[in-house]
Chain A
Amino acid sequence: MATPKKPAARKTPAAKRRTIVLVATRKGAWLFHGDAARRTWKADGPHFLGHVISHMVLDPRDGKTLLAAAKTGHLGPTVFRSTDRGRHWKEAAQPPAFAKAADGSGRTVDHTFWLTPGPASEPEVWYAGSSPQGLFRSTDGGVNWAPFSSINEDPQFREWMGTAQDGTPDGPKLHSVIIDPRDARHLYIGMSGGGVHESTDAGRTWKTLLKGLDVVEGFGFDPAQPTFHDPHCIRICPSNPDRLYQQNHCGIYRIDRPSDTWVRIGKAMPKKVGDIGFPMVVHPRDDNTAWVFPMDGSGVWPRTSPDGKPAVYGTHNGGKTWQRMDAGMPKNQAWWTVKRQAMAADQADSVGLYFGTTSGELWLGRNMDQKAGQRWTCIARNLPEIYAVETATI
């Protein structure tokens, strides 16, 4: 594949750039506006108080359009859209919804889970993944959404997805919708029950991308069957779109295309910590640097920080070695869970890393792209359970 074009020069001088941290929670959404030094943060919110916000993303193509995937306990799912960074919101005219079955037996979207802005070459395109698992696309900036029949109604995909009971407690998720920045027709998706899939024809047809991925041992599961695969989070490296990282139910992986085989780089993690977790974050400019937030995947799967000692682990060499990064975090008795969408990096020259916990804390890590001097600071407490964290640079 062609070498990616260099990103266009920024119009805003580095000293004046600001980071916004977008926090989606079980009870609403917040925008945290940082100063240029990322020392002070101003909270803007709650937006949609009481709504379950699964994901909120600022469109990097215009720096203004915000999309938020929402539902409430009583009401059906929808997508809210703002074209002024959250000052005003308007609901999508046609939110993601499955095709109607003639006899009414078709599936219904419980919630839109994942939002991905399209490539720069398609400025009005967005993708969405849902629970139960489905893929949707908008060609008008998120106002109207149409289902992908190649997945949503395909008998083979439906078999791989299983039923709602085969997924995570809040329902199986189609997530990690990734577009190759060099080729708008080249897509990847992850299914929390159903594996990793790739399309090179804009989603008309798909092929599995499972080689090298482990499945749960001891039950005789066939690793060639997508049903048995549970990718938690997949990321493509902006600086090298031939490289992807994945945090999976069964380890941490890297793949370098055109190879079709994932390599379990999590084997280099400390044995006491293991390589189970939910989020996966990649450096915006260095394809050798990535971060994970390990969780306890032993016994009944507490899904908390191992031994109550939270830490991010980072690699600067593509996963050959990992470094514990916990300075500033509690040393013990911190039983955090960080969900798959709840960790993100900013675009600053010295990259900041952010994560939100299920106990409502938002943390910022400085110097996380350095080999020394990393430090974590809690920038917000007492929020509702955090479902997703994204960043935007304006």
Chain B
Amino acid sequence: MKVLIPSALRSYTERSQTDAQGATLAALLLDLDRQYAGIRFRMIDEQDHIRRHIRIFVNGTQVTDLAQPLAESDEIIIVQALSGG
């Protein structure tokens, strides 16, 4: 499915949009990490929480639970939230 990548993470993907697979958000993030090693830990901490200044939207709705089911037609948007100067 389509995943939009924020500028802060494009050093990994080298593009603003990529494709990844997964039946859940957790699985999709693992697939992203398989393609772009290291990208997941920059977004998700070691306790499996989404980091404070990262937001993830599925079809325009913010998601905070990595167990969120995904469908092939979903669009995932990863956003870098405000983090100061």
User: Which A residues are within 8 Å of any B CB, using their own CB?
Assistant: 72-76, 78, 91-93, 95, 97-101, 104-109
**Does B51 contact A76, Cβ atoms closer than 8 Å?**
yes
Known: A91-B37, A93-B37. A73 touches B47 (CB 8 A): no
Compute how far the CA of A106 lies from the CA of B81 in the bound complex, rounded to whole angstroms: 23
Compute how far the CA of A222 lies from the CA of B1 in the bound complex, rounded to whole angstroms: 59
Q: Provide the main secondary structure of the chain B interface.
A: loop
Known: A93-B37, A97-B41. A75 touches B46 (CB 8 A): no
**Does A74 contact B46, Cβ atoms closer than 8 Å?**
no
Chain B contacts with A in 39-60, Cβ cutoff 8 A: 41-49, 51, 53-54
Compute how far the CA of A207 lies from the CA of B79 in the bound complex, rounded to whole angstroms: 45
A104 contacts which chain B residues (CB < 8 A)? 47-49
A selection of 23 A-B contacts at a CB cut-off of 8 Å is: A72-B8, A73-B84, A74-B81, A74-B83, A75-B8, A75-B51, A75-B53, A76-B42, A76-B43, A78-B42, A95-B38, A97-B41, A98-B46, A98-B47, A100-B46, A101-B47, A104-B49, A105-B47, A106-B47, A108-B45, A108-B47, A108-B49, A109-B46
Compute how far the CA of A244 lies from the CA of B75 in the bound complex, rounded to whole angstroms: 57
Compute how far the CA of A104 lies from the CA of B47 in the bound complex, rounded to whole angstroms: 5
Known: A74-B83, A75-B51. A108 touches B46 (CB 8 A): yes
Which residue, of A91, A95, A98, A105, has the highest number of chain B Cβ atoms within 10 A? A91
**Does A73 contact B83, Cβ atoms closer than 8 Å?**
yes
A108 contacts which chain B residues (CB < 8 A)? 45-47, 49
**Does B42 contact A106, Cβ atoms closer than 8 Å?**
no
B9 at the interface (CB under 8 A from A): yes
Chain B contacts with A in 8-57, Cβ cutoff 8 A: 8-9, 37-38, 41-49, 51, 53-54
Compute how far the CA of A104 lies from the CA of B83 in the bound complex, rounded to whole angstroms: 24
**Does B38 contact A100, Cβ atoms closer than 8 Å?**
no
Compute how far the CA of A104 lies from the CA of B41 in the bound complex, rounded to whole angstroms: 15
Q: A74-B54, A95-B38 known; 19 other A-B pairs, CB under 8 Å? A: A74-B6, A74-B8, A75-B9, A76-B42, A76-B43, A76-B44, A76-B45, A76-B51, A78-B41, A97-B41, A97-B45, A98-B47, A100-B46, A100-B47, A101-B47, A104-B47, A104-B48, A106-B47, A108-B47
Compute how far the CA of A74 lies from the CA of B7 in the bound complex, rounded to whole angstroms: 11
- What residue in chain A is nearest B42 (Cβ atoms)? A75
Compute how far the CA of A30 lies from the CA of B32 in the bound complex, rounded to whole angstroms: 31
Q: Taking the nearest CB of chain A, how far is it from the CB of B38, in angstroms?
A: 4
**Does A78 contact B38, Cβ atoms closer than 8 Å?**
yes
A93 contacts which chain B residues (CB < 8 A)? 37-38
Q: Taking the nearest CB of chain B, how far is it from the CB of A29, in angstroms?
A: 15
Compute how far the CA of A144 lies from the CA of B6 in the bound complex, rounded to whole angstroms: 26
**Does A76 contact B41, Cβ atoms closer than 8 Å?**
yes
Task: Across the A-B interface, give the 3 residue pairs with the lowest CB-CB distance, nearest first.
Answer: A73-B83, A97-B46, A75-B42
Q: Taking the nearest CB of chain A, how far is it from the CB of B54, in angstroms?
A: 6
- What residue in chain A is nearest B55 (Cβ atoms)? A74
Q: Taking the nearest CB of chain B, how far is it from the CB of A46, in angstroms?
A: 14
